Amino acid sequence: MNSTTSLRDFVSHARESGRIRFADLRRLQRDILPARITTCEEAELLIALDRAVRTADRDWSDYLVVTVRDFVIWGIPPVGAVDHDKAEWLVRALSSGGVTKAGLRIAREVAREASQVDDALIAFTGGLKRRASIVDQKPEPTPVPNDHLPAITTLLAGYERSAPGNVPMPFASISSTRLRLNFCALDQLSCPLVPGGRGEGPLSTSAGWTSRALNW
Nearest CA to 83 out of 53, 121, 126 is that of 121
pLDDT at residue 122 in the model: 94
Question: Which pLDDT score, from 0 to 100, does residue 5 have?
Answer: 87
- pLDDT tens digit sequence for 117-128: 999 999 999 865
CA angle 206, 202, 156 (to 5 degrees): 75
Question: Half-sphere exposure of residue 26, counting CA atoms within 13 Å on the CB side?
Answer: 3
Return the pLDDT at 210. Answer: 38
Task: Return the pLDDT at 136.
Answer: 41
Q: What is the pLDDT of residues 142-182, one digit of tens each?
A: 566 677 677 766 666 653 444 444 444 444 444 433 334 44
Beta bridge partners of 117: 82
pTM: 0.59
Measured between alpha carbons, how far is residue 33 from residues 64, 109, 190, 200 in Å?
12, 21, 50, 54
The domain ranges of the chain are 3-135, 146-213
Q: Residue 216: pLDDT above 50?
A: no
Per-residue model confidence (pLDDT) at position 157: 60
Supply the mean pLDDT for the chain: 74
Q: 107 pLDDT band (50/70/90 cuts)?
A: very high
Q: Is residue 196 predicted with pLDDT exceeding 80? A: no
